[in-house]
Structure 1
Amino acid sequence: MDINLEMINLIKGEFDIHVLIELPQTMLHANIFDLNANLNEYDSLTSFWPVAGKWQLEYLEEYFSGCESVHFVIYKPGSKLDLIKTTYKVLKFINKHKFDYLQFDDFSARQAFLLPFLKLNKRLILSIHDPIPHGGEFEWKRSVIKKMFYGKAKAFITYSSFSKDLLRKTLGLDKQVVNLNLLPYTVFRKFLTHHTVEQERGYISFVGRLSQYKGIDLFIEALPTILKEFPDQKFMIAGRPAFGYAVDSSKLANMASSVSVMERHLSNQEIVDVISKSKLIVCPYLEATQSGVVMTAYALGCPVLVTNTGGLAESVLDNYTGMVAKAISSDAIAAKILDFLKLNLYQDMHAHITGDQLVSKLSSSNLETLSQIYI
C-alpha cells in the first residue's frame, strides 16, 4: 500500500479512481495496516469510510478523499465458499462500473480466480515490483500465476529503469512497458510523534525485511572498520526475518555494546522510530529492483547508503540525497560510512531530501508517463 497511496494521491485529481484493497486474514498485520478486526463480521466488499474510524485508519483518509470509491475486498479465513462469494461480488462490482482500465498492483492466487471471468479487452494493466524473484525467494506457485497474468495484460508499470529492462526481456514486443519514479512514502509521517521528532539521530541502521539478498552480512562485516575510528558510534539492525534468514549473532559477539538487533516484525510506529533516531539508513543489498526502504527514509528526512545493484541506486543522488557504494563489498560500505561520519554529511543531505523541488519534478514526470497508458 505504501507505494500505491502516493500514486493514488497523485492521479485522483486527473482521473476517476476506484480502489479495491485485498484484505485476507494473513494481511491484518502487514505494511501500513495493523488491524485488530474479525473479518467474519464484515461484508466481502466493505467500504473504507464506515470502518475508517473503527479500524483506526483515519490517517489514510487524505489519500482516499476524492476517489470515486474505496473498498476492502475481504477474504474470510478458512472458507472456500466465502472465497467464491467474494470473487463473485468483485466481478459484479467491476462489471457494473464498466471501467476503462483495470490496474492490478502485482497479483495473487486470489486475484487469479477473477481472470477467467473478466472481459479484459486490452484494459488490464499490471504494476510489477520484481520482474524476477530475489535470491532465496523463488516460489513456483507465484511463477505459474505470473504467466497467467502476463499473457492477458495490455500494459505494464515498473518502478526502476532496471526493472523495465528486465521485464522487457520476458515480454513480447507488443506489450507496453512504462516506468514510474518512486515517491517518498509520506504515510509514514503520520506515525511521527513529538518524541520521535525531537530524539537524537545517533544510529546508523539497517531496517526492513531480513532476507538473504539484503546483504546484511556485508553491513555487519563493515562495522569493525568503522568502530576503529568511531568507537562510540551506535548501529541498529531491525526487521522481520524472511525465507529462513537469520542474523549471524556470532559475528556480533565482540560488538554487543555497539549494535542493537530487533529481529522481528516491526509496527509502523517502530519503523518510524528506528529511522527517526538514525542519521543514515544502509541498504547493502546484493541485488535489487528498487527499494521502498529508501522512499520511507526519504519521507522521514533520512539519507541512505546503497550498493550499486539493479535499480537500487536510481533513487539516490550520490552525495546529495545519499551515497552509493563503489562495490558490493563490506570494504566499500565501510569506506562510504566513514566518509559520511568524517565529513558530517547528515545535515546537508537532510536539507536536500526535505526540499519540495525534487518531489514536484518526479510527480510531474509520473503524470506525463501515466497519460501514455490511460488513453
Structure 2
Amino acid sequence: MGVVTSIIHKKINEEENTILFFGRILEYKGIDYLIKAEPLISEKIPNIKIIIAGSGDFSKYESMINHKNHFEIINEYIPDEKVSELFQKSSVVVLPYIEASQTGIIPIAYAFKKPVVATDVGSLSEVIVDGVTGFIVPPRDSKLLADSLLNILLNKNLKNSMGSAAYEFMKENMSWKGIAQKTIGEYQKLLGNFEKPRYLIGSLQ
C-alpha cells in the first residue's frame, strides 16, 4: 500500500453507519450538499453519523445543520494517526464535490477498504468503478447522494464487497508498483508501434 501503510498506527474498529468527509473545508467540496442529504439519510437510519474532518472556515455551514447530533465536526488540521483512526472507523467515504481535477482521498479510502460515493466531476469517475468500488452521482444532487449512501449503509454485503474491490483496485492501479507496471506497459506499446526509418532497414539486414 506504499505510503498509506505508514499512517496505520493502531487497529480501530469500524463504527456502524458512519459517513466520512475528509479534507480541507473549501467551497468546491460541496459540503452543503452533504449537509442537505443528512435528513434524507437519518429518516431511514436514525443512528447515522457524519464526520466532517479538516481545516478551514466551517462557519458558513454551521447554520445549515439541523440535526447536530448526527454530525461530528473536527475543524482542524488532522495528524497522520488521526487520519488512520477516522478512515478505519468510517463505513463509507463521501466526496460531494461540485468541481475538482483529482484527489488523494480516494486512494486512502481504498487502502482502508472503504467504498466511496463521489460526484462525477474532474477525474474522480476514473478511479471509481461505479457499482463496484462505490457509486458515482451527479454533482449538486443531495437526493441521489443520499440514495447512494443509503444503498451502501443498508446493505452490509454490498458495503463489504465494495470495500474489498476498492482495496484490490488500489493495489492494482494506485500502488507505486502498479503505476510503474502501467508506465512500462505504455512505453512497450509505443516501442512496439515504432517503425524504423526506411534508410536504416537496409543497413540492418
**TM bucket normalised to smaller:** 0.7 to 0.9
1:247–1:201 distance in 2 versus 1, CA, 3 Å:
farther
Match of 1:348 among 154, 161, 168: 161
Rounded Cα–Cα distance in structure 1 between residues aligned with 2:33 and 2:80 = 26
Rounded Cα–Cα distance in structure 2 between residues aligned with 1:245 and 1:342 = 29
Identity %: 27
Structure-1 residue corresponding to 2:27:
212
The amino acid of 2:6's aligned partner reads K
Rounded Cα–Cα distance in structure 2 between residues aligned with 1:323 and 1:362 = 24
- Find the residue that maps to 2:85 and give its secondary structure: helix
What's the offset of the Cα at 1:332? Answer: 1.5
- Find the residue that maps to 2:91 and give its secondary structure: strand
The amino acid of 2:3's aligned partner reads V
**1:37-56 pair list within 5 angstroms:** none
Structure-1 residue corresponding to 2:4:
188
Structure-2 residue corresponding to 1:337:
149
What's the offset of the Cα at 1:247? Answer: 5.0
**1:273-284 pair list within 5 angstroms:** 273-284=85-96
- Structure 1 residues 321-367: Cα deviation after superposition (integer angstroms, max 9, x where no partner): 11111443111211111111223322101111223773376542133
> 5+ unaligned residues in a row in structure 2: which ranges?
191-205
Rounded Cα–Cα distance in structure 1 between residues aligned with 2:163 and 2:113 = 5
Match of 2:184 among 343, 358, 367: 367
Match of 2:83 among 260, 271, 281: 271
**1:316-327 pair list within 5 angstroms:** 316-327=128-139
Q: Contact between 2:37 and 2:143, CA under 8 Å: does it hold in 1?
A: yes
What's the offset of the Cα at 1:205? Answer: 0.9
Rounded Cα–Cα distance in structure 2 between residues aligned with 1:368 and 1:247 = 47
Structure-1 residue corresponding to 2:14:
200
The amino acid of 1:195's aligned partner reads K
The amino acid of 1:321's aligned partner reads T
Q: Contact between 2:19 and 2:91, CA under 8 Å: does it hold in 1?
A: yes
1:328–1:366 distance in 2 versus 1, CA, 3 Å:
farther
- Find the residue that maps to 1:298 and give its secondary structure: helix
Structure-2 residue corresponding to 1:19:
none
The amino acid of 1:191's aligned partner reads I
Q: Contact between 2:91 and 2:153, CA under 8 Å: does it hold in 1?
A: no
Q: Which has the higher contact order (CA 8 A, sep 6+)?
A: 2
Q: Contact between 1:212 and 1:245, CA under 8 Å: does it hold in 2?
A: no
More helix by share: 2
What's the offset of the Cα at 1:369? Answer: 4.0
Match of 2:50 among 213, 235, 246: 235
Rounded Cα–Cα distance in structure 1 between residues aligned with 2:103 and 2:94 = 12
Rounded Cα–Cα distance in structure 2 between residues aligned with 1:362 and 1:289 = 19
Rounded Cα–Cα distance in structure 2 between residues aligned with 1:211 and 1:245 = 9
The amino acid of 2:167's aligned partner reads T
1:231–1:193 distance in 2 versus 1, CA, 3 Å:
same
Structure-2 residue corresponding to 1:289:
101
- Structure 1 residues 137-175: Cα deviation after superposition (integer angstroms, max 9, x where no partner): xxxxxxxxxxxxxxxxxxxxxxxxxxxxxxxxxxxxxxx
Match of 1:358 among 167, 172, 179: 172
- Structure 1 residues 219-255: Cα deviation after superposition (integer angstroms, max 9, x where no partner): 11100000001011111000011xx564511122x31
The normalised TM-score by structure 2 is 0.80
1:247–1:273 distance in 2 versus 1, CA, 3 Å:
farther
Over the aligned positions, Cα root-mean-square deviation in angstroms equals 2.2
- Find the residue that maps to 2:51 and give its secondary structure: strand
**1:220-259 pair list within 5 angstroms:** 220-241=35-56, 246=59, 248-252=61-65, 254-259=66-71
**1:18-97 pair list within 5 angstroms:** none
The amino acid of 2:14's aligned partner reads E
- Find the residue that maps to 1:324 and give its secondary structure: strand
- Structure 1 residues 80-103: Cα deviation after superposition (integer angstroms, max 9, x where no partner): xxxxxxxxxxxxxxxxxxxxxxxx
Rounded Cα–Cα distance in structure 2 between residues aligned with 1:191 and 1:308 = 28
More strand by share: 1
